[in-house]
């Protein structure tokens, strides 16, 4: 067996794919994810690459090659020739490095929640009304690190998201994104009363958006106890609807999601007085 570093062009990748005669089914979502990484300039040369067996049959790297073809960009890859075909059964059986792993290695605390919040923020910015699951929602580790560099305030928002989750069972992801995007859009608003109201519900009258959001989240948590449902997109929609009502001084007694309802825009209006802005 011998290895070399090769500049793999889309044409060479297509030729090598003709040797892909005995491999697992190709995942279109994985190819799309890798192609997007290549087009964003995130591709890096590593020890992982392409492998051919003793007869020149491709046994590892079909998704990487298909991604090069789709991206239309030449990249460097490590190419191994003469790999025993019996090694196929142990390829790609290790655990992939997740966004949580990448953030933890970068020294971040609460890496699991932070990764989920950054991924959700990316989807909120780029695909707020699409499904937040499936292959199209995948966010690369490099994207997460880049998002964190651009939005360092998400770290502080995460602390508030955790507090809101403990108070009313809204997902940490939804609460973190909700806190971050509203404070970013409305730095003029003191949100301490919002947080206290949602977390405790103390001294709030029926119809107060903070109490309505709190009760909605607690009821959803109770109803979903046996289904393990964790719909951060739905929770964020409720969060923003309630927040808009609160900032505008409107009463709201019911939060519901209509079919195909779009994610609310953050309100630029405010009728809060110093008396209203207390829990």
CA atoms within 13 A on the CB side of 52: 19
In whole angstroms, what is the distance from residue 233 CA to residue 230 CA? 9
In whole angstroms, what is the distance from residue 203 CA to residue 279 CA? 7
Write the CA distances from 197 to 118, 201, 210, 218, 235, integer angstroms: 25, 5, 6, 14, 17
Tokens of 157: 């928002």
The pLDDT, as a whole number, for residue 21 is 85
The pLDDT, as a whole number, for residue 139 is 86
The pLDDT, as a whole number, for residue 46 is 86
Dihedral in degrees, nearest 10, Cα atoms 122, 123, 126, 131:
170
The pLDDT, as a whole number, for residue 91 is 64
By the 10 Å C-beta count (0-12 exposed, 13-18 middle, 19+ buried), 265 is classed as: exposed
Angle, nearest 10°, between helix axes 111-126 and 232-247? 70
Please say whether the dihedral angle defined by the alpha carbons of residues 171, 120, 130 and 185, taken in this order, is positive or negative. positive
The pLDDT, as a whole number, for residue 127 is 86
Low-confidence residues in the chain, pLDDT < 50:
228, 274-279
Bridge partners for 81 per DSSP: 2
The pLDDT, as a whole number, for residue 222 is 85
Give yes or no for a contact between 273 and 190, defined as CB atoms under 8 angstroms apart.
Answer: no
Please say whether the dihedral angle defined by the alpha carbons of residues 225, 226, 228 and 229, taken in this order, is positive or negative. negative
pTM: 0.71
């Amino acid at each position: 067996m011998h290895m070399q570093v090769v500049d793999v062009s889309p044409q060479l990748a297509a030729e090598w794919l003709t040797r892909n005669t005995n491999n697992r089914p190709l995942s279109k979502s994985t190819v799309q994810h890798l192609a997007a990484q290549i087009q964003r300039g995130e591709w890096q040369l590593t020890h992982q690459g392409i492998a051919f067996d003793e007869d020149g049959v491709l046994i590892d790297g079909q998704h990487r090659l298909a991604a090069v073809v789709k991206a239309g960009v030449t990249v460097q890859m490590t190419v191994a020739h003469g790999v025993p075909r019996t090694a196929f059964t142990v390829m790609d059986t290790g655990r992939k490095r997740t966004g949580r792993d990448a953030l933890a290695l970068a020294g971040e605390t609460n890496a699991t929640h932070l990764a989920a919040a950054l991924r959700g923020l990316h989807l909120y910015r780029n695909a707020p009304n699409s499904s937040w699951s499936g292959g199209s929602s995948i966010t690369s580790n490099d994207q997460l690190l880049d998002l964190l560099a651009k939005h360092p305030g998400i770290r502080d928002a995460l602390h508030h998201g955790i507090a809101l989750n403990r108070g009313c069972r809204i997902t940490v992801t939804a609460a973190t994104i909700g806190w971050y995007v509203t404070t970013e859009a409305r730095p003029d608003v003191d949100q301490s009363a919002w947080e206290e109201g949602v977390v405790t519900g103390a001294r709030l009258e029926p119809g107060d958006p903070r109490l309505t959001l709190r009760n909605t989240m607690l009821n959803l948590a109770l109803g979903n106890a046996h289904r393990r449902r964790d719909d951060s997109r739905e929770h964020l929609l409720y969060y923003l609807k309630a927040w808009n009502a609160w900032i505008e001084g409107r009463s709201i007694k019911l939060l519901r999601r209509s079919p195909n309802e779009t994610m609310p825009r953050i309100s630029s209006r405010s009728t809060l007085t110093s008396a209203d802005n207390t829990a």
